[in-house]
Structure 1
Amino acid sequence: MGFTLAELRRWIQSAGLDVTARRADGSEAGAAVGALRCRAAVTDSRQVEDGFLFCAAQGDSAHGVDFLEQALTSGAVAALVEGDLPYVDNCATPLFAVTDARAALAAAARGWLDLHQPQVIGITGSNGKTTTKDFLGAALGGEFPVSVSPGNLN
């Protein structure tokens, strides 16, 4: 399903957060950037695939911006950057600066959920969550569009 960068910006702003945009090489982002589509959003640069949004947040021991070039090389269509926007030579990928990347990502998630209104199933308990999740995903996947967390990242 994904989302456009225009939707991303609107969702972040609707949460009362400031967001500014430009391309990684310092050039103006331009209106056409809004039509670009992201397939998914990730905070780990090692998980970036073509068409993903990379969220570069401040972590406990490193800042996601330290891994920005890796994410761009891996196919990120855009990046949400906490703090000042870095410059990357010869790279026209759009970057969005926010003061709190996690809050911005949460606002985007809320906007996406409000727009698509998916049915969500939560599985709780001490044992068997991963097996139950995989079983339900397989059982429902033949009839409905399904998204499940990978592995045991419940």
Structure 2
Amino acid sequence: QNPGITPPATVKSIKIVDRHLATMSEKAFPLADAELTVALLDLVQQATNYKQTKKGANEATKTLNRGISEMIIMAADTEPIEILLHLPLLCEDKNVPYVFVPSKIALGRACGVSRPVIASSITTNEASQLKTLIDGMKLKIEQLLI
């Protein structure tokens, strides 16, 4: 191998990162950092296993209106971002924490589907084993808003 030539896989991953940075909207606030994103997506995956998630902007809106939403996770690379921007307003009305993650593809995978997901709602369940994890994550999200 030539030390001066970048392997194709590295070039591809750089392009993917660049594309995500280019497509993320500046309207997406608060945006989770890399560490928080991993923790959020892990929580979404666990909540999906416990049947405690709703996928999509419409279902997330329904959970907020019904008062059963613990938190809302949205994708910052949604195109156009305006299809999501009613959710932060609704979250603030209902006093529900919300956060943006960089990738809709990663959010879709965490939700256990093969399609991109632009918004996900983690729903309440008092008997859930995830209650402590969810409460801890809510505090971290609220720290971003300060």
Write 1 or 2 for the structure with the bigger share of helix: 2
Higher relative contact order (CA 8 A, sep 6+): 2
TM-score by length of structure 2 reads: 0.31
TM-score by length of structure 1 reads: 0.30
